[in-house]
Copies of this chain bind each other. A is one copy, B any other.
C-alpha cells in the first residue's frame, strides 16, 4: 500500500478526512479540515480533490467541503444496519405516536452504543443522542441494556473503566455498575433518571433476533414521576420489534 513520508497510507489519510466531519461539523473549509484531520494543507487539498472527483466529498458554492452524496449512497445501499433500521422504523413511530417522546435504536459497536436510528420530538426533553452518534455503554440506558447482554469479555473490560461521569447520577463505580447490569437482565429494562442530563430519564429495552440481543430500543423522557409509566409501552414496542425481526430474518 502506498505511504506518505509519515508512513501513513492514502486510505488512512482519507479516513482521517472523513473523521473530521461530524453532526455539528458537516461543512468545513479546507483549512479547518486540514487542522481537524491533522494533515498538511497541501495533502488535504490533494486528497479533497481526488475524493471530490469520486463524489465521496463535495464542495458548496463557498468552496467549503462536505461529505458527498455518493459516499452516503455507497455506505447506505449495502449498509450493515439497513435491515435493522427499516424493520425498526414502524415500531419506533408507533411508540413515538403513543408516548410523544424521542425514540432511538442503538447497537453495540467498539465498546460504545452506536445509534442507528433516532426519531426526535423537537423541543422535548434534553437529548444528546443523534443518528450515527455514540454514547458510552455505562452512562446511557441503551448502553446498559447492550452491556448487560454483551459477551463476558466486553463486559469485564468496560466495567473496569474508565467510567466518565455526565451527572451526579452516572454509574461510575464497578460494583454499582455490575449490580445495575444484573438488574437490567433480571427486570428486562434499564431505567436511568438523570444519568446523562439531570432533566432527562433514559429508558431502554433489549431487541432480540432468535433470542440473541442485537439492539436496544430507547426512550428519552422528562425526569419526573411519570417516567416509570412509560416502561410498559416501551417493552411492548421492544417485543413487537423483536418479533418483526424474527419474521424478517434480519440478523
Contact = CB atoms under 8 A, between A and B. Distances in A.
This protein's copies in its complex: 2
Nearest to A76: B132
Given A50-B9, A89-B119, A77 B22 contact: yes
A89 B86 contact: no
* Secondary structure dominating the interface of A: mixed
Interface string A120-144: 1000000000111100000000000
Contacts of A68: 80
B10 A82 contact: no
A24 to B, nearest CB: 9
Interface of A: 1-3, 9-12, 14-15, 18-19, 21-23, 25-26, 46, 50-51, 54-56, 58, 66-69, 71-82, 86, 89-90, 93, 107, 109-110, 114, 118-120, 130-133
B73 A114 contact: yes
16 contacts: A2-B2, A11-B50, A21-B74, A21-B78, A23-B77, A26-B79, A67-B75, A69-B114, A71-B74, A72-B132, A73-B114, A75-B76, A76-B76, A82-B131, A82-B132, A89-B89
